[in-house]
Structure 1
Amino acid sequence: MVDLKVAFLFALITMTTCDDMAHDLLKTYFGTIEREHPYTDIKVEGYIPEWLSGYFLHQTAGSYGNQSNPKVGEKLTHTFDGVGAVSSFKFNGGHVQYSIRYYVTQLFKIFDYYSRNMDRSKVAWGTTFSPFDQQQFKKWEDFHDYPDDNPNVVFWKIGDKVEAMSEATAGVQFDLDTLQTLGTYQFKDDNFGMPPYMAYLNNPAHEHYGGDGVTIYSAVAMYNMSDVSKINVTRMLYKVVDDTRIPVALFHEAGPFNLSECTPGSSYPDMDDRGGYMHSFCMTENYFVMPTSTYKYDVCSIFNEKLPPEPFFKTKTEYSETSPTRFVVISRSTRNVVGEFSTPDGLFVTHQLNSYEKDGMMYLDMLTYRGDAYGHFYIKNLLKGSKGLRTRVERFVVNTSDWSLTERKELFPKRDHDLVEFSTINYQSHSGKPYKYAYMIGLDPAPNVLIKLNVDTGEANYWGPYDDLIPGEPIFVEKPGSSAEDDGVILANVLDTNTGKGMVVVLDGKSFAELGRAISPELMPFGFHSKFIEKAFDEGTVTLSRHTTCVVFVFLCVAILVFMKR
């Protein structure tokens, strides 16, 4: 029989260990960036391939405030709301440099005005989920001297420019060489070329690139506000060419709504006839497929100007488990809607793996949830664990002759982690084509493994788990001249909770073994997505950091003095 004292002592130790781990996560994973700096040489351990050349960018949450502060509106409580910053590892000939900077936005300038102390600044800006301080919000609501978005989700590469994006229609441009904010990204078109009474909502964070690697595709929800008695919602697929957003296709998503049906304190009565939220979409060789989720927008609260400002996603959407999920298929050649299908169960799609066509069938692979996935990603919930929420790595098989859904299949059924996220592939060579490998992270409750999944067999390779290392989104970089799908490297940012330092790990694409790592000089806390921007630097040159430049300068001065004494 188990000794009750021993059992109690074991439980106490376990609870203490969990509390310590939660404290470490709060202090580091959700910590605050105290110091910004230009590119600086950093320590490399192991081997960094010399052919790897360019910038590995990571969306970084610069601060969530003091998580020990119990007061509402004086800290950010949801992972989506971190103060936006960009960190970058610069690879050049086997050498690595690191830089980090906040995006200079309205939000940041308010935070900076109070010495980057959220106990003082409070949450004085609009958020997606976190409560903010109403009094401080009113004090700063007319402050419009800087970009008004918090572009902390993804990066879009537009020609030779880079735009940091959330899910607004325009993000923030920054300079790759300095990470300095250049302002709101300036498109050449006016309101997408649409009339001024068109309002826009939910521009999916995740874009697709055409076969030329340059043309960008996305799909924004468009609200026709010319007559408030019959507001229609149209989803507009558009492309970006030469800094111009050009409509490609339109399909009716919801409506018409009559705002006169809205009563004080109530939501729009018809849940099924509402526009749905979209975070990502599918693209094959010949089609776009648009999944609208079971997060439904409430037009009554969105367009009611009498309501006090509140966290947008939390108060302007409702999750519906019973609403079917609709998939709309658009031909890339004719730009017309050619079919659609739906699932009887409500599901939410976060990220894509890949989509392709073969032998008259379409295969759509994505991460799906049954449940309020976004509600799970409050900081307090991440510290406690998944509690029943499970990611499905799901394949939808569609017959292209009649657009019927013929099969749904779980691609990764046997695994230790209920939650897997941030799925990526070898996008450069296999987007829209048959493929074999996908990459993602496993969470328990924080991320602790990188995963290489064989989507044909369901077998996986792992880097980790490590109790003290928290990895971010894995990005595949193809080796020049490669022919195999996994011939290249995987890059992932990693936080060491013991040292509080960030790093980038470089894994071999085939074996998934670690080749090397480069360690940053300071904290690199939680963030969302990453992107590798390939760039060839001058052969044989390595950009000198400020410290290295000073050392070289001093050495030259000493050499000159010695020479003069002779």
Structure 2
Amino acid sequence: MMHILLVLLSIAILSTAHAFSGNELTEMLKDGLGNVVKETINGVVTLEKGSIPVWLSGNFIRHACGVFGETSHRNKDLPNYIEHLFDCFVMGSKYSIDNGQVTFTNRWYDTTVEDIYNSYGREMNASSMFVHSVFSKVNAKQIDKWNGNMSSHSKVSEIPNVSWWLVDNQAIAMTEQPIGVIIDPHDVVQKGYMQYDDDNLGVPDTQQYLFSNNPAHEQTEPDGTLWSTVSVVKFETPSHLKIRRIVYKIGADTVRHVVGTYHYEDSDITRCKGDNSYPDFGARFGYLHSFAMTKNYIVLPETAFMDDPCVFTRYDQYKPFFPQGFRYEPNGYSRLLVMRKSDGVFIANITMPPFFATHQLGAYEDGNLIHMDMLTYNDSGIYDRHMFLDNLLSENQYTTDISRITISLSGMSARMRSLRANGKPPTAFEMPNINYDYYGKKYTYAYLAKNFDRRDQNAITKLNVDTGVEIEFVLPEGMFVQEPQFVARPGAVFEDDGVILAQGVDGRKHKAFMVIVDAGTMMLIGYVTAPDIALFGLHNRFFPMKVGRTTVDTPGGIVG
């Protein structure tokens, strides 16, 4: 009864019921899929409800889109717009929070992409899509025209716009390659590529080798040690490929230490026929956007969205990379690789029926069992269908499974089950987070964005992973929430003693917003409106004030 009461109270605070038609909501959703006309630097926000906790101090920064082009007058032939969410031109969108006060910054980065786009007066009817893409159609003539500029090392060409890492007290913008760009979270400016003090993970920097699929999301130990993984392709000959996956960690020495290596079967790409994918699944690594860590193990849940070595026989630089480089294999399998952290030995390679996964919740050991929780799908549609603008602006009815995979280390087997309570209707969830002090440990709560980037009514959902009970903070129709982020209260004793921060787009006011919600009760604490719009995008992170400063003068941990 108490859970129901809390939900009703949350709805009463901020939500109104079905105030708009479907067409009206679609027009509001377009606010997050358009273009930012001007920057905002340290703009004053409007406190709409509640208050800002005085203990909350830091920079809440997000990879926000800045440009989608002519989304209201789309010309697919040119093209004059960016077709897919993952390919937008990025901005830094930040709320600075300190001593009960909030300011808003939404700023373009100094990059080659921005220089080129500015030369066209920020008009995509003139510039068209001039950079290589993940999923969007590009203009071949414009690719050729600007390829030299984009390949130059004299300047950062573009900002990796997926996730955030923390290395050596620096905020690092990351995508799915083992290279990142340092971002000053105070001023929202780029400070160049992150330089590691190592030998390129032991991989020669020649055309014989290439990196692929470094998951955007890392895992971080309580002492700040960061774990990640990347696949390495070596051309033994023009047709003979050796592929391995490296697991590495980064410490305070800013060296990427290789801990373990998993070898796949060799590929002979003379076996590639027509448009068919490579016939041997054992020679193909599965796509990873995230992975799991427990006290003693790294677990890599490779999905059935498999790399295709045949891409090297037919790669077309004028076509999006992902549809060429990866294919979902419904007749293939997913692969769970379990590595022992102490010595880098892979102790298990467990196959499961095919699935696709985006983000992890938590993971922990329970005797001889490993429990790892993640968002799963029956195919790769969340990438290769649902995040296209044409679908985002329609009903876009995708649904998500919140799944627990339990691995038996004694039986070297695995099973999957849903974490949601029986009878819950299918729902679209994305962008989960937990209390990061509980990474690798037994945990209870996860926080997710409901109806992420959909016109349906949005909410922040708190899930009890033990009971399946869900509590929601529901937003009014026309307010579209982005990734929720947990920040612990100073001196917190309980797992959910803290707040949830979330940015978003208010299509009713044509402006950005931020909410602060009590993570225990899911009741509103404070709600601010920014002075201007910020668009949809991908991940965010809350950095305490000390991050990005050479002189540490503010206490606090790292969340994100």
TM-score, normalised via structure 1 length? 0.87
Q: Does 1:152 align with 2:178?
A: no
Which is further off, 171-180 or 526-535? 171-180
Which is further off, 88-97 or 393-402? 393-402
Distance 1:266 1:366, change over 3 A: closer
Task: After superposition, give the CA deviation of every residue in 1:172-216 in whole Å (9 maximum; x if it has no partner).
Answer: 21222211122222222232232334310111000010120x211
Q: Does 1:101 align with 2:111?
A: no
CA distance in 2 between counterparts of 1:69 and 1:54 reads 39
Give the corresponding residue for 1:44.
47
Match of 2:461 among 448, 451, 458: 451
CA distance in 2 between counterparts of 1:267 and 1:361 reads 35
Q: Does 1:199 align with 2:210?
A: yes
Which ranges of structure 2 fall in alignment gaps of 5 or more residues? 1-17, 547-551, 555-560
Give the corresponding residue for 2:390.
380
Q: Name the SS of the counterpart of 1:384 in structure 2.
A: coil
CA distance in 1 between counterparts of 2:161 and 2:81 reads 17
The alignment covers a number of residue pairs equal to 518
Q: Name the SS of the counterpart of 2:141 in structure 1.
A: helix
CA distance in 2 between counterparts of 1:193 and 1:112 reads 39
CA distance in 1 between counterparts of 2:183 and 2:419 reads 39
Give the corresponding residue for 1:441.
449
Q: Does 1:523 align with 2:556?
A: no
Q: Does 1:177 align with 2:182?
A: no
Q: Name the SS of the counterpart of 1:140 in structure 2.
A: helix
Equivalent pair of 1:55/1:89 in contact (CA under 8 Å): yes
Equivalent pair of 1:59/1:87 in contact (CA under 8 Å): yes
Q: Does 1:57 align with 2:61?
A: yes
Q: Name the SS of the counterpart of 2:283 in structure 1.
A: coil
Give the corresponding residue for 1:126.
132
Equivalent pair of 1:414/1:458 in contact (CA under 8 Å): no
CA distance in 2 between counterparts of 1:35 and 1:407 reads 47
Distance 1:230 1:215, change over 3 A: same
Give the corresponding residue for 1:228.
238
Q: Name the SS of the counterpart of 2:512 in structure 1.
A: strand
Which is further off, 334-343 or 107-116? 107-116
The structure that has the greater radius of gyration is 1
Q: Name the SS of the counterpart of 2:393 in structure 1.
A: helix
Give the corresponding residue for 1:69.
74
Task: After superposition, give the CA deviation of every residue in 1:432-488 in whole Å (9 maximum; x if it has no partner).
Answer: 111110000111734711111111111111111421211111100001111000001
Give the corresponding residue for 1:533.
543
Equivalent pair of 1:203/1:219 in contact (CA under 8 Å): yes
Distance 1:205 1:121, change over 3 A: same
Equivalent pair of 1:395/1:411 in contact (CA under 8 Å): no
Give the corresponding residue for 1:35.
38
Equivalent pair of 1:170/1:185 in contact (CA under 8 Å): yes
Deviation at 1:330, TM superposition (A): 0.4
Equivalent pair of 1:231/1:255 in contact (CA under 8 Å): no
Which is further off, 458-467 or 491-500? 458-467
Task: After superposition, give the CA deviation of every residue in 1:516-544 in whole Å (9 maximum; x if it has no partner).
Answer: 022211101101111111126979xxxxx
Q: Does 1:335 align with 2:344?
A: yes
Q: Does 1:17 align with 2:21?
A: yes
Equivalent pair of 2:420/2:469 in contact (CA under 8 Å): no
CA distance in 2 between counterparts of 1:183 and 1:49 reads 34
Q: Name the SS of the counterpart of 1:110 in structure 2.
A: helix
Deviation at 1:275, TM superposition (A): 2.1
Greater relative contact order structure (CA < 8 Å, 6+ sep): 2
Question: What value does the CA root-mean-square deviation take over the aligned residues?
Answer: 2.1
CA distance in 1 between counterparts of 2:94 and 2:416 reads 41
Equivalent pair of 2:373/2:402 in contact (CA under 8 Å): yes
**Aligned letter for 1:348?**
F
Give the corresponding residue for 1:111.
117
Deviation at 1:355, TM superposition (A): 0.3
CA distance in 2 between counterparts of 1:413 and 1:303 reads 47
CA distance in 1 between counterparts of 2:196 and 2:60 reads 25
Equivalent pair of 2:277/2:327 in contact (CA under 8 Å): no
Deviation at 1:383, TM superposition (A): 2.4
Q: Does 1:208 align with 2:219?
A: yes
Give the corresponding residue for 1:560.
none
Give the corresponding residue for 1:245.
256
Deviation at 1:243, TM superposition (A): 2.4
Task: After superposition, give the CA deviation of every residue in 1:285-319 in whole Å (9 maximum; x if it has no partner).
Answer: 110100111112222224656x4431111222211
Deviation at 1:394, TM superposition (A): 0.5
**Aligned letter for 2:178?**
T
Q: How does 1:332-371 map to 2 (within 5 A)?
A: 332-343=341-352, 345-371=353-379
**Aligned letter for 1:299?**
P
Deviation at 1:414, TM superposition (A): 4.2
CA distance in 2 between counterparts of 1:280 and 1:118 reads 33
Give the corresponding residue for 1:9.
none
Give the corresponding residue for 1:85.
91
CA distance in 2 between counterparts of 1:503 and 1:98 reads 10
**Aligned letter for 1:126?**
H
Match of 2:440 among 432, 442, 451: 432
CA distance in 2 between counterparts of 1:262 and 1:149 reads 34
CA distance in 2 between counterparts of 1:342 and 1:269 reads 17
Q: How does 1:425-504 map to 2 (within 5 A)?
A: 425-427=434-436, 429-443=437-451, 445-446=454-455, 448-504=458-514
Give the corresponding residue for 1:551.
none
Which ranges of structure 1 fall in alignment gaps of 5 or more residues? 1-13, 540-566
Equivalent pair of 1:39/1:178 in contact (CA under 8 Å): no
Deviation at 1:103, TM superposition (A): 2.8
CA distance in 1 between counterparts of 2:289 and 2:138 reads 24
Distance 1:255 1:118, change over 3 A: farther
Equivalent pair of 1:386/1:418 in contact (CA under 8 Å): no
CA distance in 1 between counterparts of 2:542 and 2:535 reads 19
- Aligned sequence identity (%): 31
Q: Does 1:188 align with 2:174?
A: no
Q: How does 1:213-292 map to 2 (within 5 A)?
A: 214-241=224-251, 242-252=253-263, 254-262=264-272, 267-271=277-281, 273-292=283-302
Equivalent pair of 1:193/1:246 in contact (CA under 8 Å): no
Equivalent pair of 2:241/2:268 in contact (CA under 8 Å): yes
Equivalent pair of 1:147/1:183 in contact (CA under 8 Å): yes
CA distance in 1 between counterparts of 2:341 and 2:178 reads 22
Give the corresponding residue for 1:544.
none
CA distance in 2 between counterparts of 1:210 and 1:485 reads 17
